[in-house]
Chains A and B, each alone.
Chain A
Amino acid sequence: MQPFTTLTAIAAPLDIAKIDTGMIVPGRFQRLPRRPGHADYARVFLHDLRFDENEQPRAEFILNHAAYREAGILVTGPDFGCGSSREAAAYATLDSGVRALIGASFGDVYRGNCMQNGVLTIVLPAPVISGLMTQLKAAPGAAITVDLALQTVTAPDGSTHGFDIDATRKERLLKGLDDVGVTLQHLAQIETFEKQYRADMPWLASIL
């Protein structure tokens, strides 16, 4: 996983409520293979919002505007990523070049998937989000800065907003640590736990 420390990037105001993971990656694209280093899921990110039935870009959709081609941050409407647990949604977000999402709320499973794949999701109060949306719409292509160590978001107008993040996720994002590698350092504890667990619940042994 690529570490996440600080990011200054063009931020796009994606001001639509309840974009579910099926809109982030429509079900028919979940069959796509994904090769390391190829960003194979970039083209399916928000596919049906970005493209019409003839695969032509929808001119009116915000991420198709020239100012947002290089957006690395999305400011999202409430409940972004609700719905199905498809990890493809997190992959598509990452592959499309987005490293941070800032919104008032997110789907829990999607949020977890993003964090484990190096995409930082930041929750800020609804009035702050609405202020960011207003600033970004007024100045298309404006940048936002995210500092994970300090847990701050700096808006185009210079105002700074603190955010909370789970301490485990913060550490792993900062260092780019893969969960499996971290866990395997605890292998001895896992084995000790399991031995005691099975001793306490002997009936589980006969059916595994």
Chain B
Amino acid sequence: MNPPVSIFDRLWARHVIVADATGAGGEDLLFVDRNLVHEGGTFLAFDQMRGEGRQVLKPKQTLAVTDHYLPSTNRATAPGSIANAEIRRVVEALDHNAREFGIEHYGVHHPRQGIIHVIGPELGWTQPGLLITCCDSHTATHGALGALPIPIGQSNQLRHVLATQTIWQKKPKTMRISIEGTLPAQVSAKDVILSIIARIGIGGASGHAVEYAGSAIRALSMEGRMTLCNMSIEAGARIGMIAPDDTTYAYLHGRPFAPKDTDWDQALAYWRTLPSDADARFDRELSLNTSELAPMVSWGTSPEDSSPITGSVPDPASMADAEKRGRVQRALDYMKLAPGTPLAGINIDRVFIGSCTNARIEDLRAAAEVVKGRKAVIPAMVVPGSSAVKRQAESEGLDRIFLAAGFEWRDASCSMCGGSNGDTVAAGQRSASTTNRNFEGRQGPGALTHIMSPAMAAAAAVTGRLTDVRTL
């Protein structure tokens, strides 16, 4: 009888072509089922391949989509109308490179265009058991469907995957984060992952592949699972996964790239063999109690700087560890916040609802539920995660709710998450954002970012302050 293994160990073993031969903890050569490419920085990989005269080995196993640099408004005339020449060049380069190297590309006017980590699952391109690489640190999103996701660099590592359909990787250790119980009202997947990161820190799961487990995880929708896995990297883990189950299969069935008919039956039988064995062992275990969980907001310049909305800005003077004290002081100076300030009530200048973390249909429904019948008192915008999410939201009338409340309703792109396309928060402005990173300058030089769930961001929009959505 085989020893019990985790889903991660199972999938890793399934993809090893050449096992580490150094005998000293080196790297394995792994088979890549599918690879996703976006336009940000990837022109470097194609330039190098062109220079070397290399071809893409398996062009049908790579899918390209434009998301980071696309404008979120006036799309009809893009990319020609993109005013910034450097941005226009990056957008046009992917179109050109995809054509030259024979890769399918969902460009600006394609009905399937959207943020790469939104459209992968949405199209059924992402499936349980597949090893999926993407030149983006939020690739763990695809682990929500029981795939093995590996984020890669945008140039040298991408070039390697394109040229060989493989990747060299050292096997990480394993960590299971278990959450049992029922999530309290208005506590979303975003609040769960921010709680985890606040607890273990931005490097807390470094070197580990994380499996999220437990009844609270099983009860999450696919959208919630994607939000959770998406931010694994914010705890230092490049890989985050959730074992597939009936929720996963129901989500995938009928999607454009999902197997059909007898193929579906065969695939399903395989997928059911993937979840971790009951007595699988992990290098590390962490458990969270759902009763500890509350809606979260960040107060500093790292996702680990997050607290329940009922809390206050911490006081560095009370911190024993000198390094932590210095870092928190630097964060509060940047964020222009005084120690002891209650988080609820901090004035906000603008709201952004979007990104690969929180721009799926369920996220927009949660925000619309809060906004309905109210008015935004500060500038606020919604950028759906994909063109399909936008169409779905419009068919449900969510766009009319946002527009009636004074929100902008834009086109799918990464937009104000990292500001690559020029959608930025002005210096000194304080934003409530459903994104994944509140690093210094992430939303624009000098931008003061607070990250939170869609419902909490919506609550901030209608009050102009950080607000506990449960009190609204």
Contact = CB atoms under 8 A, between A and B. Distances in A.
Interface of A: 17-18, 20, 22-23, 26-28, 30-31, 33-34, 36, 48, 53, 77-79, 82-88, 90-91, 105, 107-109, 112-113, 116-117, 166-169, 171, 179-180, 182-184, 186-187, 189-190, 193-194, 197, 201-204, 206-208
A31 B87 contact: yes
A193 B163 contact: no
B257 A207 contact: yes
A35 to B, nearest CB: 9
Which among B25, B89, B154 has the greatest number of chain A C-beta atoms within 10 A?
B154
Interface stretch (B243-251, B277-285, B381-389, B438-446): B438-446
Contact of A186 (B18, B157, B445): B18
Given A83-B439, A109-B153, A190-B31, A18 B26 contact: no
A183 B168 contact: yes
B107 interface: no
B137 A84 contact: yes
Contacts of A107: 206, 236
Given A82-B236, A207-B257, A202 B266 contact: yes
B420 A201 contact: no
B326 A203 contact: no
Given A30-B40, A36-B51, A78 B441 contact: no
A108 B437 CA distance: 17
A187 to B, nearest CB: 8
A82 to B, nearest CB: 6
Contacts of A183: 29, 160, 163-164, 166, 168
A111 to B, nearest CB: 9
Interface string B231-250: 00100101000000000000
Contact of B25 (A91, A112, A167): A167
Given A108-B206, A207-B257, A190 B17 contact: yes
B47 interface: yes
Nearest to A203: B263
B418 A27 contact: yes
B153 A189 contact: no
A98 B170 CA distance: 24
A87 B18 contact: no
A206 B22 contact: no
B223 to A, nearest CB: 23
Nearest to B34: A208
B44 interface: yes
20 contacts: A20-B437, A23-B439, A31-B87, A31-B89, A33-B44, A82-B236, A83-B437, A85-B135, A85-B136, A85-B151, A87-B41, A105-B203, A108-B206, A109-B153, A113-B153, A116-B153, A117-B156, A180-B159, A186-B18, A190-B166
B159 A17 contact: no
Interface in B391-444: 418-420, 437, 439-442
Interface residues of B, number: 75
A31 B27 contact: no
Contacts of A20: 437, 439
Contacts of B139: 85
Contact of B163 (A17, A180, A189): A180
Contacts of B43: 33
When A and B form their complex, which 7 residue pairs have the shortest distance between CB atoms, in order from nearest?
A167-B22, A87-B153, A168-B26, A203-B263, A167-B26, A167-B24, A85-B137
B292 interface: no
Interface in B13-41: 17-18, 20, 22-27, 29, 31, 33, 40-41
Interface string B215-232: 000000000000000000
Nearest to B170: A166
B379 interface: no
Nearest to A77: B323
B437 to A, nearest CB: 7
A190 B323 contact: no
Which among B33, B44, B47, B264 has the greatest number of chain A C-beta atoms within 10 A?
B44
B50 interface: no
Contacts of A194: 31, 165
A78 B257 CA distance: 42
Nearest to B54: A180
B152 interface: yes
Nearest to A204: B33
Given A18-B302, A180-B159, A206-B259, A86 B154 contact: yes
Contacts of B40: 30, 86
B96 interface: no
A171 B22 contact: yes
A168 B19 CA distance: 11
Nearest to A25: B41
Nearest to B61: A208
A59 B273 CA distance: 60
A180 B439 contact: no
A201 B17 CA distance: 16
B327 interface: yes
Contacts of A117: 156
Contacts of A48: 441, 445
Nearest to B446: A53
A30 B207 CA distance: 26
A207 B154 contact: no
A203 B153 contact: no
B259 A30 contact: no
